Amino acid sequence: MKDTIKIITISFFVFLARNAFAQPTSGSGVTDNDLQLNSITTAVPFMAITPDSRAGGMGDAGTALSASSTSIYWNTSALTFAEKKSEISLSYTPWLRQLTNDIHLSYLSGYYKINKTHSIGGAVKFFSLGEITFTDASGNVIRDDKPSEFELAAAYAFRLSDRMSIGINGKFAYSNLTGGLTVAGVNTKPGIVGATDLSFSYNNDDARIGKTDGTYMFAATLNNIGNKVSYSELSAQDFIPMNLKIGNSFKADFDKFNSVTFSLDIQRLLVPTPASYDLIDGEYVMLSGMSNDVGVISGMVQSFYDAPGVVATDDNGDYIQNDDGSYEVVSGTRLKEELSEINFALGVEWWYNQILALRTGVFYENKNKGNRQYLNLGASLKYNMFGIDISYLASLNGRQSPLANTLRFTIRLDLDQNSSEGGSNKPE
């Protein structure tokens, strides 16, 4: 019982540390209320939607979870530590049901351990935006269409040592949102993406907290590193949702029947922050920040220091200019905005006899960067080679959130029920 209290206490302080980032920057007096709404948007955002019910029941804290077929989305390098030789799963998510009833996300994934050193996998993600009626400027119906997007992923994981591994995914995504519709004389086209994921895992199955044995995993991933996307020859190219995720988890084995996993993810987009503009003397002027008209790698690096902050104004509401002609930025707001771009996910999972699992978790995104804040609940039931997961999302922002009441369903099939290779960490 004392060990249980220790683990709960540790998790509580981790949660407090998460909230500390939402407080004023030390010494600056800057709070979230001082920042402007400045969300970062990307093309093909479906590539970053959590597809599975396990992590979906743990606040989206899935980067350092034990390996499964859905690790291809979260962290491919974990596949070399999988206990089972192979698994396939199918996930289904009715999406934005607060707004409509015909948008959904489907995800089919699977992996196979060739041996303890090499693992391979693949996944297909399909996102249907339902039926949309296109009209002209006068409101006349042009045609009905069913826009959709899909992603294909091939995965490979390689074990570097007893406790470390790396993984890489190759991805192809196709986003057909307009069906080739001509708008104002401009022909539209599908968005086409080529991208990759890079991942690293450290797995220690001899870890211990107090007298409680367990498994600790650290994982870091770079996701969706790929080309910018445009939907016409004349429109600007947009970044895809490139992101960095750092995860930690500890699975505490209390006895042969009960285990509890605590998982914490830190996540942020690696996409440039929109600069601050305003209309001055009939022209749009960049007041603060940096242009996002840069390449992919430059954009990833720039994303760590390009937050515009808040431009200072005088008593009349006019912008204050420096001697060199630039505009003064309120002290501390740039750093505060950079910190506000970090998202946090915290989850807990309890398994009983590898038959029944219960989960919960929370996800936090700053209100100035999208304000996704929600509580997750989830459960699993496993019988022989079959398993089913379900999760529920309850928005912490009230029923007005389009994500409120989101359900996810996952069916898993263990193709090698009698295999348990995870007990040995010695690569071949």
* 43-275+343-423 topology per CATH: Porin (2.40.160)
Nearest to 147 by CA among 162, 161, 160, 133: 133
Cβ–Cβ < 8 Å for 292, 299: yes
**Mean pLDDT along residues 59-67:** 96
Output the pLDDT for position 133. 79
Nearest to 219 by CA among 266, 269, 162, 271: 266
Residues comprising the chain, all counted: 428
CA 365 to chain centre: 11
pLDDT digits (tens, 9 = 90+) for 224-264: 999 999 988 877 899 999 999 999 999 999 998 999 999 99
**Mean pLDDT along residues 411-420:** 75
Q: Say whether pLDDT at 365 is over 90.
A: yes
Least confident of 156-165, 190-199, 231-240, 396-405: 396-405
Instruction: Indicate whether this model's pTM tops 0.85.
Output: yes
Output the pLDDT for position 6. 42
pLDDT bracket for residue 32 (50, 70, 90): low
Whole-angstrom Cα distance, residue 49 to residue 401? 16
Least confident of 298-307, 362-371, 409-418: 409-418
Ramachandran category for residue 410: left, alpha or beta (phi over 0 → left; psi -120 to 50 → alpha): beta
Q: Say whether pLDDT at 424 is over 50.
A: no
Nearest to 375 by CA among 346, 416, 410, 415: 346
pLDDT bracket for residue 5 (50, 70, 90): very low
